[in-house]
Each structure stands twice: as C-alpha cells, then as structure tokens.
C-alpha cells in the first residue's frame, strides 16, 4: 500500500527522506517487521534530483527564478 502511495515521491525528480517508526510491543511485531522491510527497500532506491531550467516566461520555474533573484537583490541591499 505505502509503495503505491509514495510512487511519485520515491521515483520522481525529488529528494526523499524515509522515517520508519516501530513499536517494541510483541503484539505489533508483524507490523514492525513489515515497516523495517519497507524502509530497507526504500533505502535501496537511487535517485538523482536535477534542478529544472526555466524555459519560458509563462512557466512556474521561470517565475520562481525571477522571484529568487528579486529576493536575493533585496537581501543584498539590506546587508549593504
């Protein structure tokens, strides 16, 4: 179930962190073992995130890059 829910995050163009929590009680042993196996499978996934370049003025990446440049200019003006 979790693999299908996280499919886009685990194989997409992003960085993913897996936090597995287990319960030490004997009645939760099956679920804890299942969680550990899932976390182990996730740890074996190799993924290299690549920053996308802004290509057109209408794209979201273009607007964010302009916003980032604007914020950087504001910060530099406050520092000087």
Q: What are phi and psi of 4, to 5 degrees?
A: -70, -35
Nearby residues of 54 by Cβ (< 8 Å), 6 or more positions away: 61, 62, 64, 65
Say if residue 69's pLDDT is above 80. yes
Q: How confident is the model at residue 3 (pLDDT cuts 50, 70, 90)?
A: low
CATH number of 1-49, picked from 3.40.50.620, 3.40.50.10090, 3.30.2090.10, 1.20.58.1980: 1.20.58.1980
Tell me if the pTM is above 0.75: no
Q: Distance between CA 7 and CA 2 in Å, rounded?
A: 8
Q: Where in the chain is the domain with CATH 1.20.58.1980?
A: 1-49
Q: What is the mean pLDDT of residues 25-33?
A: 94
Q: What is the pLDDT of residue 41?
A: 85
Say if residue 54's pLDDT is above 60. no
Instruction: Identify whether the C-beta of residue 38 lies closer than 8 Å to the C-beta of residue 3.
Output: yes
Instruction: Identify whether the C-beta of residue 11 lies closer than 8 Å to the C-beta of residue 47.
Output: yes
Say if residue 70's pLDDT is above 70. yes
């Amino acid at each position: 179930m979790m693999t299908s829910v996280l499919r886009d995050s685990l194989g997409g163009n992003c960085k993913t962190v897996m936090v597995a929590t287990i319960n030490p009680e004997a009645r939760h042993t099956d679920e804890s073992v299942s969680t550990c196996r899932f976390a182990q499978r996730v740890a074996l996934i190799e993924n290299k995130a690549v920053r996308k370049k802004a290509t057109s003025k209408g794209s979201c990446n273009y607007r964010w890059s302009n916003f980032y440049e604007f914020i950087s200019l504001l910060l530099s003006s406050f520092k000087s």
